[in-house]
Amino acid sequence: MMKRKIMIAVCCALILCALTGCQLAKESAGANTNEDRLIGVLITTEYLDLFDFEGYLNDNINSFQGGKINANGSNTQKYQGRLYAVLVPKMLTNEETGETTVTHEYVFEGIEGIQYCVPTIQETEAENSYIATMSDPAISDAHTSIFVGDDENGVSIDGTIFITSSSKMNIYYFNPVYQSVDGSVYAVSGDSFSFSSEAYGEGSAFSQTMENTTSITENGKTKKDSISITISISVMFTPEKIVILQMGSDNAIVSRTEYEPDAMPKDFTLEASTTYFIVETHKRDNMGNIIISREIYSRDVEHIETFFVRADGVCVKHWTQIVGM
């Protein structure tokens, strides 16, 4: 028993890269024996250790020869573990009327990650089934397209995660999220990529795409069900200050207001004499220099967008409603 435990400890390190390196490609190719549908991605900065190493080694101990391990999709798939999400209620409040609505969302409890999924919330006695979009605030410029046709249903989702250039080395794991026929939602371990944001300027971006096609039967007819997921990670210099300059018709400054990026208000009221206004974002580049970017808005604009940095180095978009006097 002791020898087997020692072998497990040694072999785990040897097969980790081989197993995780092929996982995303295998799953994204649409090879899923249970016809579970790919519905999204869970992005983490730590590897989801879901593989049953001990079970794999116990079943394949005689196939290890000369220190080499043949770890391919056909003989490792059944050992891939699943991280199941929990369906929890979520209360939404209409800010204008104060009315509340209860919806549901899937949550991976105890896992720090960025989720972007489009699961189907199954029918209950109280409501019909519907497709929900679950997007973490870290996903900016998120777009979801849903197509329903006679021969094929299709979903396309894409978005961008902005990270500050001061976050140095970054490792991101793109873990596919699936939904079973019974409605359960789970994630499996996925591929990763790493880069140093310090080495790239603002605007540098890297994208990861996952695609999957399965077959579904509706009213006795079989049709395709496809999804495409594209997530981009883009570098942004660290926002340190937001300045709003209200300008009059003579191009003179009417007022100047300064905010910390994470303290931008929900609403901003313009002075009666303001003709247009300028939003300055003061950022610090990789060399420690302050760079100012400026956006000019007319007074009839409905909202402005700014960014603030979370503790994890992700730049989150904030919307401020513009109110005229």
Which residues, in sequence order, are CB contacts of 180 under 8 Å at separation 6+?
Answer: 34, 36, 186
Helices 53-60 and 2-28 meet at what angle, rounded to 10?
A: 110
Q: Quote the mean pLDDT of the chain.
A: 81
Whether the predicted pLDDT of 54 surpasses 60 = yes
> Per-domain residue ranges for the chain?
238-323
CB distance 162 to 307 below 8 Å: yes
User: Of 45, 43, 82, nearest to 175 (Cα)?
Assistant: 43
CB distance 88 to 103 below 8 Å: no
Q: In what order do the strands lie in the sheet with 276-284?
A: 253-259, 238-247, 276-284, 290-298
Cα dihedral 249, 253, 259, 263 sign: negative
Q: 159 falls in which pLDDT band (50, 70, 90)?
A: very high
CA distance 151 to 148: 9
For the stretch 108-126, pLDDT in tens is 998 999 999 999 888 676 6
For the stretch 220-240, pLDDT in tens is 778 888 999 999 999 899 999
Quick one: tokens of 300? 């009839």
Question: In the prediction, which pLDDT does 63 show?
Answer: 64
Whether the predicted pLDDT of 209 surpasses 60 = yes
CB atoms within 10 A of CB 312: 13
Read off the pTM: 0.77
User: Of 39, 45, 24, nearest to 112 (Cα)?
Assistant: 45
Whether the predicted pLDDT of 1 surpasses 70 = no
For the stretch 262-288, pLDDT in tens is 999 999 999 999 999 999 999 988 888
C-alpha radius of gyration, the chain, whole number:
24
Quick one: tokens of 180? 């079973």
Give all strands (DSSP E) within 149-187, no chain letters.
152-164, 169-179, 185-187
CA distance 221 to 153: 13
Residues in the chain: 325
Question: In the prediction, which pLDDT does 64 show?
Answer: 60
For the stretch 123-147, pLDDT in tens is 676 667 788 889 999 999 999 998 8
Q: Is 256 helix (H, G, I), strand (E, B) or coil?
A: strand
